A and B are shown apart, each in its own frame.
Chain A
Amino acid sequence: MAYGTAAVAKVDSPRSPYVRRKTTRGNYELYSWIFMRASGVVLVVLIFGHLFVNLMVGEGVHAIDFAFVAGKWANPLWGVWDLLMLWLAMIHGTNGVRTIINDYAQRDLTRGVLKSLLYTAFVVVVVVGTLVIFTFDPCPPNAPEELLASFCTA
């Protein structure tokens, strides 16, 4: 019908002209599947370690203030810990939501819009988070002393 020029009336095939849209072979989904499992296990350790240290050790949740965070990030172990947690959680979560969008969005347009929102959010959070961890200044100048960590005033 769309071809217009055909002189003979074209009878539509009773069968749907089914074709796979395109072949998308490759190990991408394989690696993403393995990553989800591996990062999940690592995240369980990282997150529960984080919760334990922040909420249960010593004074627990009442100890959390600017000085507490500054003191923690002065230690490179906690910098690496939080960086790893941020990246793994963001990639793991984004990949999970990506599969959910693939499973539930039926139209390509919906899929495209949702995924671009998702990836934008991912980039913003990861970039801002990484910047904070790397450029964090535990002793900002002109700050009231009672808010700062003990090593700033020493």
Chain B
Amino acid sequence: MTATLENTATEAGAAVGVVPSFEVTLRVRRFNPESTHGEESYWDEYTITAHGTDRVLDALHKIKWEHDGSLTFRRSCAHGVCGSDAVRINGRNRLACKTLLKDVNPDKPIVVEPIKGLPVVKDLVVDMEPFFASYREIMPFLITTGNEPTKERIQSAEDRARFDDTTKCILCAACTSSCPVFWTDGQYFGPAAIVNAHRFIFDSRDEGAQQRLEILNDKEGVWRCRTTFNCTEACPRGIEVTKAIQEVKRAMITRAF
């Protein structure tokens, strides 16, 4: 007993500053119509050695760079800012670059799938076009009338705080592709489009609120939200997405009556 303890102590002493490493298995949903698998998607398992500080993205990198170069996924900044690498990890939409392996139970195989509801192009890469089409529809830009001011458009801190939460969106599609209503036929505008409309509707400098409310007062607009809170749970930026959607609903009701 004593010896064991001493051994552990010496090992720990020698390993100061060294990050512990462990074996982890990733179960990745693959899709490649040009392969022998054709239009069928299939699962591949990879076991790699990872460190305690590694994220799921690091594991995917390791697979692509050292095991299977054909694995395809999107990533740009790799630090949770660009929103390229939203994937479904163990059934939840997350950014691969913001999810530590140790947080998603590396004792069992970690399941990595493309986000749902958007057409898969290859492996973890989905076609984001339906998502961005909805985003474009809500006119995500400042709309004003009259002459442009010679200086900046002044806004009070309170007015800025009104829509602060929804300015954080990075358009990763984690929310929209977690929404069961969006999964059905992809016609629903989706949480992300509504969040970005909210960002301008409640901006005191913007004058296009009426137009945006009109656009979202569609059969496929805010009224299809069932408040399941999947979007709020999925958002890697912690935006209160469902709340934003309800605020847009309220703005529409006060506009109508």
- B131: shortest Cβ distance to chain A, in Å? 9
Which of A26, A28, A30 counts the most chain B CB atoms within 10 A?
A30
Contacts of A48 in B (CB 8 A): none
B185-233 residues at the A interface, CB under 8 angstroms = 185-187, 214-215, 217-221, 223-224, 226
A135 within 8 A of B: no
- B73: shortest Cβ distance to chain A, in Å? 17
A12-41 residues at the B interface, CB under 8 angstroms = 14-16, 18-21, 23-30, 32-34
What 8 A-B pairs have minimum CB-CB distances, sorted nearest first? A29-B223, A24-B219, A18-B130, A18-B129, A15-B129, A25-B218, A18-B133, A33-B223
A29-B219, A106-B185 known; A34-B253 Cβ under 8 A: yes
Which residues of B line the A interface, CB within 8 A?
A: 119, 121, 127, 129-130, 133-134, 137, 180-181, 184-187, 214-215, 217-221, 223-224, 226, 249, 252-253, 256
A3 within 8 A of B: no
Complex CA distance for A24 and B137, rounded to whole angstroms: 13
- Interface of A: prevailing SS: loop
A16-B119, A25-B215, A28-B219 known; A106-B184 Cβ under 8 A: yes
Contacts of B217 in A (CB 8 A): 25-27, 29-30
Nearest residue in B to A13 (C-beta to C-beta)?
A: B129
A103 within 8 A of B: yes
Selected contact of A15 from candidates B127, B180, B220, CB within 8 Å: B127
Count, A-B residue pairs, CB within 8 A: 59
Contacts of A21 in B (CB 8 A): 187
Question: Could you tell me if A20 and B256 are in contact, using CB atoms closer than 8 angstroms?
Answer: no
- A22: shortest Cβ distance to chain B, in Å? 9
9 pairs of residues in contact across A and B, judged by CB atoms under 8 Å: A15-B127, A15-B129, A18-B129, A20-B220, A23-B218, A25-B215, A29-B221, A103-B180, A103-B184
Contacts of A27 in B (CB 8 A): 217, 256
Nearest residue in B to A107 (C-beta to C-beta)?
A: B185
Contacts of A102 in B (CB 8 A): 184, 224
- B217: shortest Cβ distance to chain A, in Å? 6
- A96: shortest Cβ distance to chain B, in Å? 11
Q: Taking A18-B129, A29-B218 as given, write out 6 further A-B residue pairs in contact, using a Cβ cutoff of 8 Å, ordered by the A residue number.
A: A16-B129, A19-B133, A26-B219, A28-B219, A33-B223, A103-B224
- B170: shortest Cβ distance to chain A, in Å? 21
Nearest residue in A to B189 (C-beta to C-beta)?
A: A20
Question: Could you tell me if B253 and A30 are in contact, using CB atoms closer than 8 angstroms?
Answer: yes
Interface string of A28-63 (1 = CB under 8 A from B): 111011100000000000000000000000000000
Contacts of B252 in A (CB 8 A): 30
Question: Could you tell me if A33 and B249 are in contact, using CB atoms closer than 8 angstroms?
Answer: yes
- A17: shortest Cβ distance to chain B, in Å? 9
